[in-house]
Structure 1
Amino acid sequence: MYAEYFPVFADLVHRLGLVALVSMAYGSIIRAFNLPWTRGLMVGFLFGGAAIISMLDPVIVDEGIIVDARSILLALSAPFGGVAAVLVSTALTILSRVLIGGVGVHAGVVGIVIIGLISLIFTLVYRPQTYSWKHFLILGLTVPLYTLSVFILPFEQALPIFQRIALPMLTLSVAGIFLISMFLHRERLRVDRVKTLEVDAHTDPLTNLANRRLFDRVARRTFRKAASTGGDVFSLVMIDIDSFKSINDHWGHSNGDLVLVEISTIIRSLVRKSDLVARYGGEEIAILMPSATAVEAMAMAEAIRRRVNETFFDLGRTQAHVTVSAGVATFTAQHQSMTELIEEADVALYRAKRLGRNRIELAAMAA
């Protein structure tokens, strides 16, 4: 009685290999694209393209009637790519199904739309942070509803087709969506963990600024680019909190940390998006300013100095007045290394300290 199901079932299992390859490519996409909308578009093209490939080598149930692994791909597009992904993958799949043609084209298009809607509704109901195996089991049991679209055909033609494909599609939908979704979900969690570790490795835990390791790497790369082109300019600002040791001694290290955090927040609010701000060491903060002249860097440093000078820091039951000093250096063709530029900024910073603190000094070569 069930012998007629086995060819359809076996062919669909064979096509799950394509879905497995898609799940591997998915990991590369989410690692490469950080913006949600660009990631969604790329996931949509990936899943839609795989659905098209699946339809080019389908299981032929009847003349003009095909089934394939598209249901699994489309169903997973929204949960793992968002609205953009399901819209792109659904549109691509519909276009391809129309081009393939056959007497079942209308039923096929309706079925694709049903799967896309199921995928979208699933994502709206269950947010990505809450996904578990139970959710994907529900999705796997729901997606085979698209097979009802076959009844767009005359009933006497649709019924035997439905009887032939319903059980294999239900089985493959549940198994395929459950297994592949678990793989995709683990891959996304793994990528998120790797990104978290990368952020932690490059972030100062107290101030949430970049740490010295990241700063040195970006600074060296910026220097090499400027030195090779000869036309690029960039500036470096080294900022130090004046009399920071006395702050720690008088108000305690916890309040000293609070001052450092608040000053870091002030600096972050004033710099440009392209600037890299890093805790360079202790109470010293470095700002790498791409495409910034000495005049622009001095203006930025002065804005920071003035804002800090105007701020009163709440330290328990009292308020403290804190100042900063800064040294500014700008790249020129005479510089031989990033280390030399940093040393110039440091010399300018210490000169600001010697001249009374709460001031900005420009390195001699940049003057």
Structure 2
Amino acid sequence: MDRSGVAILGYGRFGSALADLVEEAGLPVRALDIRLTVPESRRVDDIPHLLADARFVFLATPLGAFEAALRSLRPHLQSSHIVIDVASVKEAPVAEMTRALGDEVPWVASHPLFGPSSIALGERPLRVVVCPNPLQAASTDAVRCLYETIGCEVMVQDASTHDRVMAQTHALAFFVAKGLLDMGTGDKQPFAPPSFQAMARTIEAVRSDAGHLFLTIQRDNGYSSEARRAFLEALGSAHHQIEAWGEKPAGDAGALDIPNLGGQAPESRAPGELLEECDRELIRLIARRAQIARRADRVGEVSGEAPRDPAGERALLDRRRSWAAQHDLEEEAVAQVFAAVLRSSDASLRG
């Protein structure tokens, strides 16, 4: 039997977003969830129908339900399937799939470094970490190819290194965000310097994309406790040094100094280099806008940007002119830029 489809067990926020990416890539997708509603075009009622014609089988369940989900699948899995997990930690799923599937059913551990919010915002590239299965090298290549087919950029890393990196980055970002939120610091402030605005964006990203994963990231990653402890010790040391600070020459902060950027500080860089950076960011924003426009078109929303609707386009360009005026920019020049962006979006939709 020719198996080319994708099966998804678990249709929560990530499972449904993954199904959208798969379908947009032109691959058949089926999904099963005993608690959540699955659209009729993707819904199946039991595991045998879920796995029929499927080559790739995603477990998009919470990590706490992973073992039970794998047990429910196991009697129906064959060597022609490839089981893929999408958890935020990797050592635990790898150990569980090794125990339950061994070398009889191909499996690959993966961690998509994006979520539904990233997709809705049109962010690209969508990055995925794939952890090789030492028992079946071919399955790793197949999963990498699948992720690339649905528009992802793939990085290959072993499970232990993945979890160590995530403890130092993912887990600490959530930990800091949790502390700031519990202090009330994450609430809207009447004003804030750029340094805090960047932290506020981190808090917003945590809340919008994966705030419900806090305990999973902290407790199920075996390296997170060590990372939190080291972080708290560093903060505690800085706190004690500040409290014990005596009379010292001005500017002699010693270990309390934060290293500056040196030659990479904006004021040290050539204006032409900064302009290049701005233009690259503009290109990324145009690409992101095109992604959102394609998504709006797919779900049947009225985007108001198609040249086929002259009245809607005129209204849209008028709003852009008003925004340009607020920034003392030439209104007609800005309108021409957006007219070109609209033509580009329209061409993308037709293509």
Instruction: State the TM-score bracket (shorter-chain normalisation).
Output: under 0.3
TM-score, normalising length: structure 2: 0.23
With CA pairs under 8 Å and 6+ residues apart, which has the higher RCO, 1 or 2? 1
TM-score, normalising length: structure 1: 0.22
Q: Which has the higher helix share?
A: 1
